Every structure is written in C-alpha cells, then in structure tokens.
C-alpha cells in the first residue's frame, strides 16, 4: 500500500476505534463533523454493507463514505493548498464507460486511489507516491459530469484553448488523467467534449 493509504488506515485506530461521547461526532481541522456508521445502522441492502470493515468503518457526514479512509482521502484532496478545477466534461447519461469508472474495483493503486461517497467517486492520481509534488484527482458525480482538479501550478502562461494545450500547461497532472481515462475508453470523448476552466 502507498504511504498515504498506510497513514490514513492508521488514523482511525489512533482515535480509539469508538465514537466520541459528544453528539457532534469527530471533526478533523475545519471539516464537517462525521460519525462512524455501525454495520447494523446501514439501511437494508446498502452496498457498503458488503465487505464492511470495523477497522476502517463506514462514516457519515450527511452522506455515507465507504470507509474512514475514503472520507479522509476526500478531505485531503478537497482542501489541498492551491487545489483548483481545470477541466469539466459531460458525457452522455448512463454511458456504460462512465458507470464502469464509477463502480470499478480493480483500479490499481499504482494508477490511482479511489475514494467513494454514495454516487460520487474521486480517483486521486497524484499526491500519494513518495516524491509526488502535486495532488491531482478526477471527481465523478454520478455517471456524469467529470471534474479534474490539481494543485499543479501552470508551467506556461499561454492561453488554454484545448485539452491538448493543457498537456503543456499541466505536464504532471494531464498525463495521469489521460492514463486513467484511457483505461475506460473515455480519453478521446473527454478531450473532445471537455470544457477548459480557468485553472487560476
């Protein structure tokens, strides 16, 4: 496992593996409070019941996260210093390729770390390997749209007119995004339909 995954898996046991006495639950930094959801409190038939792990339990803060690790990874990704959206893309609703990316359980950790929350999925593609200098992830909201975030500072001040020009502007993040999309045959469609955001 990566250093980041090892670290997050170690935080929950360090909290004592139990709920705090206060009703407001746990809080990390300025994030929303969250509470552990015991297996018996999950709604009947909830997908997170399968494979429930008491050492890395489901947590909730209005939405259910598959695990404490997923919640913590999402927190780190969302609040990374300098985190900004660079591209958004909308693919046809109920596209099987998007569904595959949303539900796949075989994305190797060498390619990305998955953090699930209900119908949302973040795939963190940079920021967890030793030596990584930026955090970058793909955020999938249901089956569409996609948002691409990074902390990478622009390497060029040239105007961004296309996804191809982003390869020059964000030489670390874009190849990693491309690699993930290529696995699900989404690269060309996202490049063709992607909307370039300011990234500033």
CA end-to-end span of the chain? 33
What is the distance between the alpha carbons of residues 129 and 64, in angstroms, rounded to a whole number?
27
Q: Roughly what angle, to the nearest 10 degrees, separates helices 3-14 and 68-78? A: 120
Looking at the fold, whether 103 and 170 belong to one and the same domain comes out as yes
Looking at the fold, whether 167 and 144 belong to one and the same domain comes out as yes
* Ranges under pLDDT 50 in the chain: 1-10, 12-13, 17, 21-22
Looking at the fold, whether 69 and 85 belong to one and the same domain comes out as no
The domain in which residue 144 lies consists of: 81-196
For position 73, what pLDDT does the model report? 79
Cα-based distances in Å from 32 to 24, 60, 147, 193: 10, 10, 22, 34
Looking at the fold, whether 109 and 72 belong to one and the same domain comes out as no
For position 145, what pLDDT does the model report? 82
For position 39, what pLDDT does the model report? 92
Q: Which of 76, 94, 117 is the last residue of a domain?
A: 76
Whole-model pTM: value is: 0.76
């Amino acid at each position: 496992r990566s250093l980041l995954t090892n670290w997050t898996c170690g935080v929950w046991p360090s909290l004592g593996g139990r709920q705090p006495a206060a009703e407001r639950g746990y809080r990390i930094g300025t994030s929303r409070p969250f509470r552990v959801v015991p297996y018996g409190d999950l709604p009947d038939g909830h997908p997170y019941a399968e494979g429930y792990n008491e050492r890395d339990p489901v947590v909730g803060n209005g939405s259910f996260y598959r695990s404490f690790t997923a919640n913590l990874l999402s927190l780190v990704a969302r609040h990374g210093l300098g985190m900004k959206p660079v591209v958004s893309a909308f693919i046809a609703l109920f596209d099987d390729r998007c569904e595959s990316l949303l539900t796949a359980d075989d994305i190797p950790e060498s390619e990305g770390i998955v953090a699930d929350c209900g119908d949302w999925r973040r795939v963190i593609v940079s920021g967890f390997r030793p030596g990584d200098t930026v955090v970058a992830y793909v955020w999938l909201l249901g089956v569409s749209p996609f948002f691409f975030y990074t902390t990478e500072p622009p390497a060029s001040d040239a105007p961004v007119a296309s996804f191809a020009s982003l390869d020059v502007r964000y030489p670390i993040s874009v190849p990693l995004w491309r690699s993930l999309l290529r696995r699900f045959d989404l690269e060309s469609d996202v490049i063709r339909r992607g909307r370039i955001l300011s990234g500033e």
